[in-house]
Structures are given as C-alpha cells and as structure tokens.
Amino acid sequence: PLPGQIIVYCDTVDRTKQLAEVLGCVCYHRNQVFTATNALGLGIDAPTIRAVIHIGTVRLIRQYAQESGRAGRDGKASEAIIMRGFRSTHKGNVNCKLHGSVEPEMKEFIEGSDCMRAVLERAMDGKEDRIECEEGEVKCQQCQQLEDEIVSMAQDTEELTSLSHDDADEREAADYAEFQRLLSLRRSHAVAEVRHQANNAIQVNELIRLMEEWKEGCQQCRAYNIAGSGHNLEQCRHEEAESMRGGLEFLQKQIQWAKYSCCFDCGLPQSICSSFQLDIVRGGYRKQAGLQCQYKGVLIKVVVAIWYRYTEQVEEIVREILFDEGRIGRGGRGLDDETVFATAVVWLGEKKRWGGIEGNKMCWFLCRVSERLGL
C-alpha cells in the first residue's frame, strides 16, 4: 500500500489540470498525489493524508484551516505547506506581495512573526492566551525558527572554548544579551497582543451593553436625554425627529455590508446576532431559518441618533479616523461635509476584526464614539 497521500490545492481549474499533468496524477484519492481546486470542499476525509500543499495564497484563514486540517487525521505527523511565487533581484529571491483581497488574519499567518498556532486560534476560536507552540506539539515554522536561533547561539557559545578567556567572556556576554533580547522581544510582542485583544474584547461587551440599553423606546429621545419609552423613533414628534428619520432612511439604503462582516439584517457581528449559530463542521457562523435578530434595526438607529445629537463631535471623530486610515487629508481639508460623509458611509460597511470576532467598522465606530462622548 502507498505510505500516504498528498493533496495539492490550486486556485483555478486550468492550473489544477496543468499541475496534475506535471505530477502524473489524477484527481482521485487512491493515487498517492492528487490535485484539486477548493471545490473539493468537505468531499474528502482520507485519514492517511500526509501533506496538504497550497499553490498560491489562500485569501481566507477559515478556508485555509479547513483545507490544511485534512492532513494527519490518523494522528501521525503531517505537513501543511504554502508555496508562494517569488521574483529574483540583485539581493536574492523576494516573495511576491500578497493580493489585497487576502484578509488580515491570513496575511499575519503567512508573513507575521507570531506563533502560527496562536494566529489560527485567535482567528478561529477567539483564543487569546496562546503565545507559542506548547509541549508535545510539533513546532510551527515561526516557533521552530526561534528555537533554531537559540540553539545556534548556544552552539556559538560552546565554540568560545577555543578563544582566549577574555574574548570568550566578551562574546559569550554579547551572545547571551542577544539571546535575552530575542526572548524579550517575542514575549513583549505576545503580551502586547494579548492586552490589545483583551481591550477589544471589552469593546465587544460594550457594544452589547449599548444594544441592550438603546433597544427599547425611541433612540432619538434617548440621545437628547428625553423620556421616550412610550414610543419608537418612527412615532417620535421631537423637532429633530423628521430630519433624523430621513438620515436613517438614507443610511439604510446606502450602507453596503462587507461579506462575512455581520448579519445583513441587523448589522451586528454574526457571533453576537441570535439568528446565527456556530457551524462546527465548516467553521464560522451560519444564518438559521426561523431565528430572529435580537437587536434588529437598533445599531443604525443608535449611530444616526448619536450623530444627529452630537454632530460636531462625531464628525470630528469621523475625520480623525478617515485621516488615520488614509481615506482623506488631515481634517478633510478641501472636502465638503457631503464628500466626507459619503466616504464615511463606505468605510462604515467595511469588515473589521476586533475583540477576536469578525465585525464591521460601524460597530467598532459606535464603541469608539461612545467612549469619547462618555455615553
């Protein structure tokens, strides 16, 4: 019997056929090597797959986790390999830049210096406390590289015995200092990341708090600190209500939610919306028939109500953020309010990962504004 199988994932049918011809294999799991597009999906569950190879870069980390996870299901050692293109320069080979459609988590997995298991667990499970590969696990590329550097330093230290005593002490001290620097850098980076994610998690809880507090009654009246529990925004007779309803209708028509950024019915992250449930088999969340959003319509109403009530302060925050992200010049110089607002509407619908979950920038923005205004 063959010792094991290899899956080679390609991003196009033509490339799959070409590679199958080069490798002398066919798309059938009884061969030792077979190629496939990601249309293979969940259709293969062979326990003896020893390696999964991706030709080119996968855009979504959940897709990569699903496909690479097919290797080693029998508990034996296996590998997941990504083969990237490169170009030759006078300084040597340089990896080709990742396409702009590759999500940030996948970029971090491929090009970052953190433990690759830690990156996967943050993206897939929201687990924030892993720093490195743990005892009993085969080390990932990043952790193995760090260990190799440490071993190399240790070997260099042993070679000092052939040097003079003074030179040996001096070089040993320098190597030890470098060793400590690398460890300190790795740990401080990990600690900073944990703190950053913890702070974002607090913001996610803040988002839920805001939804709970603003879901009942009239968001317009609440923004103006007026009792509004006996009616909703659609029924409100406040002097600003008609204008606010117009702004709400405009935003509802113009906002375009990015794929996977939220529940398209309520705008909240899928992990928060009660109409979505975790899909353990395929990963991610799936909309469930018969289940309703617990905060339907609340998010946009709250954003519009706060924007109208604190127009000057909110627009200042908007301009700061858009400038920080390179969308406009400092302070929106040379742009009228309508242009800045149109830019903001596009930006609000974009995907943003924060607090270990996938969401959109409107949710993050609301928490940011709430914190700045002390709401």
Domain-located, residue 130: no
Contact 238, 221 (CB under 8 A): yes
Are residues 224 and 324 part of one domain?
Answer: yes
Are residues 322 and 243 part of one domain?
Answer: yes
Domain-located, residue 346: yes
Nearest in space to 323 (alpha carbons), one of 308, 337, 338, 333: 333
Domain-located, residue 76: yes
Q: At 57, which CATH number?
A: 3.40.50.300
Q: How many structural domains compose the chain?
A: 3
CA 127/CA 121 separation, integer angstroms: 5
Are residues 251 and 189 part of one domain?
Answer: no
What tens digit of pLDDT does each residue of 229-255 get?
Answer: 788 999 998 888 899 899 999 999 999
CA 23/CA 298 separation, integer angstroms: 55
Contact 103, 58 (CB under 8 A): no
Least confident range from 165-179, 197-211, 318-332: namely 165-179
116-123 contact pairs (CB < 8 A, 24+): 116/140, 116/141, 116/142, 116/143, 118/190, 119/61, 120/61, 120/65, 122/197, 122/356, 123/61, 123/62, 123/65, 123/353
pTM above 0.85, yes or no: no
Are residues 163 and 83 part of one domain?
Answer: no
Contact 16, 10 (CB under 8 A): yes
Would the CA dihedral through 216, 218, 224, 226 be positive or negative?
Answer: negative
Highest mean pLDDT among 46-50, 175-179, 184-188, 263-267: 263-267
What pLDDT is recorded for position 96?
Answer: 77
Are residues 361 and 255 part of one domain?
Answer: yes
CA 343/CA 319 separation, integer angstroms: 10
Domain-located, residue 37: yes
Contact 335, 310 (CB under 8 A): no
Are residues 315 and 369 part of one domain?
Answer: yes
Are residues 224 and 341 part of one domain?
Answer: yes
Domain-located, residue 206: no
Domain-located, residue 307: yes
Q: What are phi and psi of 277, to 5 degrees?
A: -130, 150
Are residues 171 and 64 part of one domain?
Answer: no
Are residues 155 and 273 part of one domain?
Answer: no
Are residues 284 and 232 part of one domain?
Answer: yes
Are residues 282 and 236 part of one domain?
Answer: yes
CA 139/CA 135 separation, integer angstroms: 9
> Virtual CA dihedral for 361, 367, 371, 375, nearest 10 degrees?
130
Domain-located, residue 118: no
Domain-located, residue 223: yes
Question: What average pLDDT does this structure show over 47-75?
Answer: 83
Structural domain of 102: 5-111
Least confident range from 29-33, 77-81, 84-88, 324-328: namely 29-33
Are residues 242 and 156 part of one domain?
Answer: no
